[in-house]
Amino acid sequence: MRANGNAPSCDLTPSLPNGNVRRRLLTAGIAAIGVGTTPAWGQSVNHPPLRIGTTAVFLDDQLQLLDIWRADLQATLRQAVQFVQRRSYREIVDLLLRGQIDAAWICGYPYVLNSKQLRLVAVPQYRGTPLYRSYLIVGNSDKKTEAITQLEGKVFAYSDPLSNSGFLIPSTELLAHHHDPSTFFRRSFFTFAHRNVVQAVAAGLADGGAVDGYVWDTIIAQFPAWASGAHKVWQSPEYGFPPLVVRKDMATPTFEALNAALLQMHERHDGQLILDRLALDRFVNGSDALYDGIRSLTQAAGAVTLESEARSTSAT
């Protein structure tokens, strides 16, 4: 895909509405959990903090929840834990591969692209399976669109250049119907958060958008007003849920401790409260084969082509 005036831009220039409302709602929801005193774990040379990377693509506006999760993991691992947040998957993956963080919660797409260097720690189970879908959403005034191929010449919102549900799936849908994603839309842009895709479409800033089905379903269940101006018109097949990963060179005792802490999270009081807030069942072990569907998409679309597009748009 070539870069031109129709290629996705990185920033959602118009300000999205209800940012303060979102924060108030989230704060109210998490307040019931309560934050205990965080142990002052020593950070000696022999016991550095465990650094876990996240992005707003998946965990948007959930700083207080991360504080609670950090306290839970610290108490379980008996080790200091730091959550490192960045805007995009690209930034988090780069930090992980360079050794500047130890683990990360990323999308299945960047995992597939870097699977020779990364190892699965755990995968969330959502509604009984470690799977999710991509949804195509449009504004409520659009009663005709049933597929992305009907949005030619429109404005489209993606989430992140390395998002399976928010970029790879809609791009490969267009390619499968012999359309060039870089010229198909009049304008397209990245919001760098699935919730922002929902609000961009609901507010009329975009005619359509590609969003993580788990995020959409959670918004509809918890904060339906955020999506009041949009509706779902299409869903993809199921793919492996965004996993927690580490580099393959992580020490075995550290890997096993983190793996156990995540797999047993639903058995701990605070752990279950966090999972409830995230609308997840639990964490389970995942296999590389779980991401074969995403791997097939990268092969069908041309991994080099899509990776080049992701690099060029995220650097704009």
User: What domains lie within the chain, and their CATH numbers?
Assistant: 38-130+240-292 (3.40.190.10), 132-239+294-314 (3.40.190.10)
162: which 2 tokens?
């390395």
| Among candidate residues 261, 306, 229, 227, the one with its CA nearest the CA of residue 78 | 261
* Ranges of residues in the chain whose predicted pLDDT is under 70: 1-46, 57-63, 303-316
| CA-based torsion, 217, 218, 221, 226: positive or negative | negative
pTM for the structure as a whole = 0.84
Query: In this predicted structure, what is the pLDDT of residue 47?
Result: 73
Neighbouring residues of 197: CB distance < 8 A, sequence distance ≥ 6: 137, 157, 158, 159, 166, 191, 206, 209, 210, 211
Q: How far is CA 187 from CA 206, 236, 310, in A?
A: 9, 23, 16
What is the predicted pLDDT for the residue at 61?
53
- Which residue shows structure tokens 């597929």? 147
CB-based burial label for 15 (10 Å; 0-12, 13-18, 19+): exposed
CA atoms of 303 and 110, how far apart (whole Å): 11
Cα distance between residue 57 and residue 68, in whole Å: 20
Is 302 within 8 Å of 2 (Cβ atoms)? no
CA–CA separation, 316 vs 208, rounded Å? 22
> For the chain, how long is the longest CA-to-CA vector?
61
For residue 315, the model assigns a pLDDT of: 40
Given CA atoms 67, 254, 109, 215 in this order, what sign does their dihedral have?
negative
- Cβ contacts of 34 within 8 Å, gap of 6 or more: none
CA distance 29 to 222: 9
For residue 134, list its beta bridge partners: 212
pLDDT reported for residue 305? 52
